Amino acid sequence: MESLTLLASSRSAGKEIKFENKTFIVEEAVPESFSKFDIAIFSAGGTPSKLLVPECAKRGCIAIDNSSAFRMDPNVPLIVPEINPHALKGHKNIIANPNCTTAISLMALYPLHKEFGLKRFFAATYQAVSGTGVAAMKELKSQMAAIASGAEPKVEVYPYQIACNVIPHVDVFMDNGYTKEELKMLNETRKIMELPGVLNSTTCVRVPVMRAHSVAINAEFERPVDVGRAREAIAAFPGAVLVDDVENNGYPVPLNFQNKEKCGVGRIRKDIAFENGLAFWVVGDQLWKGAALNAVQIAELIARGGDA
């Protein structure tokens, strides 16, 4: 990286941010800002992305967008570098970053698909409050403190108290009863893995964990499965680390995967509901592999000529 520039809305312009012993002054993001850059990573939400990403692309700057604005656009590649770097070919200066739960889940699903051929899967997510933002993290802390002191917890961010609770509601509900977050798992998996016929049903749940998402997955495959081969496939995959020694309480937990590049996979076992099925557990830092890290990996891939 030759240089780094931080852009934000006019509200944040002028703020100082320290990174690696350097101080950066935040600048206002306007269309003209992108004329001087080769690559820009957007983590601003759908509305700002829809406004600024096309302007960035028009100016010859490659936009890597972390919002959902362009993920399902057939002209925009949706990239997980360990899985589909070939999809970068022919991009039109806009590249989409997947949803956090999708990226984390695919660190297990993809290597198992390569080994056995994925047919369908069910997932239940256990999503940390940091996925909602700083306000949710502060609310969890304040609610836990209130409970410890015997006070009444204040509820502002979520529909219900999150401390000592779980909420089966992430994102908005759609007409079919699923939330947008749950449908992202289906649609994004199909696009990234180039499996338009794969089936999925997911329930997304917010849990009182500060950071790192967990996902319980039950998957059915086209070919007979073997737990030993499954473990070997996970261990060999660059985006995953195998943590699967239940006799010694060896399995991934969120506290052990904060600030980690790889996602942990464990509890691998034959699924007793499917003839060719595996059940397993995946944990990953949704702020890293589920968001910023994946975007940076895409930028590094481009810098190495991976889009050629």
Alpha helical stretches, state H, the chain: 46-58, 100-116, 134-149, 180-192, 227-236, 293-303
Question: What angle, 0 to 180 degrees and rounded to 10, lies between the N-to-C axes of helices 100-116 and 180-192?
Answer: 40
DSSP codes joined into one string, 225-255: --HHHHHHHHHH-TTEEE--BGGGTB---GG
56, 61, 100, 204: which one is catalytic? 100
How many Cα atoms within 13 Å fall on the side-chain side of residue 65?
30
Residue 269: what are its φ and ψ, rounded to 5°? -155, 160
Both tokens of 142, joined, read 């304040």
Per the CB < 8 A criterion, the answer to whether 262 and 289 are in contact is: yes
The question of whether 263 is a catalytic residue gets the answer no
Q: Quick one: CA dihedral 203, 209, 215, 216, positive or negative? A: negative
C-alpha span between 108 and 185 (Å, rounded): 14
Which single residue is written with the structure tokens 């980690």?
260
The question of whether 164 is a catalytic residue gets the answer no
C-alpha span between 73 and 232 (Å, rounded): 35
C-alpha span between 235 and 241 (Å, rounded): 6
- What 3-state DSSP class applies to 192? helix
CA distances in angstroms from 219 to 58, 111, 122, 224, 230, listed in the order given: 42, 12, 6, 12, 12
Which single residue is written with the structure tokens 């180039």?
194
56, 61, 204, 213: which one is catalytic? 213
Both tokens of 162, joined, read 């999150």
Residues carrying an active site annotation: 100, 213
